[in-house]
């Protein structure tokens, strides 16, 4: 490495570290975001280094060319957008500190991330999952029966409420009451929302609390507050473990496990409600979406499924 390359690397490193320190200290950005910003700046610096240029010598054309390169290499639009965001923040900082005389990223547009339609299970497939959960494999010890009962309860509540998986596994035992037909959930932003429970979900949950919860709850007190207690650090079943149990259940139900996750069941809840004639605003409230536009993805999904149905079954589409 010659002297010029060393100077470029040293200067780039100093500017990057100064920017990341500001983001961490003054703006309180998360460690993960700091790490991602640093990675994106390093990759762009490596791209510039082939010219060679340092980060302070960047032009609008340099950044545009780099984004085109990412696109040519089939980098996902969402990843490109995150990279552009990092560079815009970085160069805004350098310009604000008068380290550079112009901001080359000012007029760079963020690539629009493609909005993928969510995966959804058919009603029959959800029924198949529940049937598989009701027929556990392995030795039917008292504890294994309780675990199987817990999985059925998790499925029934999730499909009946559309909770986020983090909300589901961390439900307190007090969330369930025999005289109530709803759940009170504290979601994102510490906001409470009320979600009605179906009779089936309520019945299964109360039976689980009375019969299986006492078998599963460890003796130490810190786990006894949770509806789904676990001996792990959190004191309750983790999201990752529940997702793993769902994959195993999907195999037994003869469903591709790649199509099954807690989030997919949340999607199924919303989609099946709308197909049954539910109001979009009502679904928004139950899902805990801050914006109705987030919930509207399910109306797009319905349109896609209708299009597929017509294409597959309408006689006028038969070109033979």
198 in Cβ contact with 153 (< 8 Å): no
Tell how strand 182-186 and strand 192-196 pair up: antiparallel
Q: Are 187 and 312 in contact (CB under 8 A)?
A: no
Quick one: tokens of 284? 């928004």
Length of the chain (residues): 320
Per the omega criterion (within 30 degrees of 0), is the bond before 216 cis? no
The structure tokens listed for 279 are 């109001």
Q: What is the dihedral of CA 154, 156, 158, 160, to 10 degrees?
A: -160
Q: Which residues are catalytic, by number?
A: 164, 188, 263, 266, 289, 298
Say which residue the tokens 């199509």 belong to. 259
Q: What is the distance between the alpha carbons of residues 261 and 250, in angstroms, rounded to a whole number? A: 9
């Amino acid at each position: 490495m010659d002297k010029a390359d060393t100077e470029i690397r040293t200067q780039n490193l100093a500017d990057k570290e100064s920017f990341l320190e500001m983001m961490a200290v003054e703006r309180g950005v998360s460690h993960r975001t700091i790490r991602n910003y640093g990675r994106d700046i390093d990759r762009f610096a490596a791209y510039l280094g082939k010219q060679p240029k340092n980060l302070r010598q960047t032009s609008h054309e340099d950044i545009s060319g780099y984004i085109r390169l990412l696109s040519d290499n089939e980098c996902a639009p969402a990843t490109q957008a995150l990279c552009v965001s990092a560079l815009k923040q970085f160069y805004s900082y350098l310009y604000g500190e008068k380290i550079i005389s112009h901001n080359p990223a000012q007029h760079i547009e963020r690539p629009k991330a493609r909005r993928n339609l969510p995966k959804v299970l058919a009603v029959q497939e959800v029924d198949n999952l529940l049937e598989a959960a009701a027929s556990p494999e392995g030795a039917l010890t008292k504890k294994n029966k309780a675990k199987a009962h817990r999985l059925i309860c998790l499925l029934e509540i999730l499909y009946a409420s559309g909770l986020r998986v983090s909300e589901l596994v961390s439900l307190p035992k007090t969330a369930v009451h025999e005289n109530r037909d709803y759940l009170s959930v504290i979601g994102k932003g510490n906001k409470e929302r009320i979600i009605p429970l179906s009779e089936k979900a309520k019945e299964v949950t109360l039976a689980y609390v009375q019969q299986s919860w006492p078998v599963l709850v460890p003796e130490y007190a810190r786990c006894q507050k949770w509806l789904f207690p676990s001996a792990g650090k959190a004191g309750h079943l983790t999201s990752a473990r529940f997702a793993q149990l769902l994959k195993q259940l999907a195999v037994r139900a003869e469903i591709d496990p790649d199509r099954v996750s807690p989030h997919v069941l949340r999607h199924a809840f919303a989609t099946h409600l709308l197909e049954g004639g539910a109001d979009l605003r009502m679904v928004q409230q139950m899902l805990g979406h801050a914006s109705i536009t987030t919930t509207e993805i399910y109306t797009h999904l319905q349109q896609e499924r209708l299009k597929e149905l017509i294409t597959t079954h309408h006689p006028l589409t038969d070109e033979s």
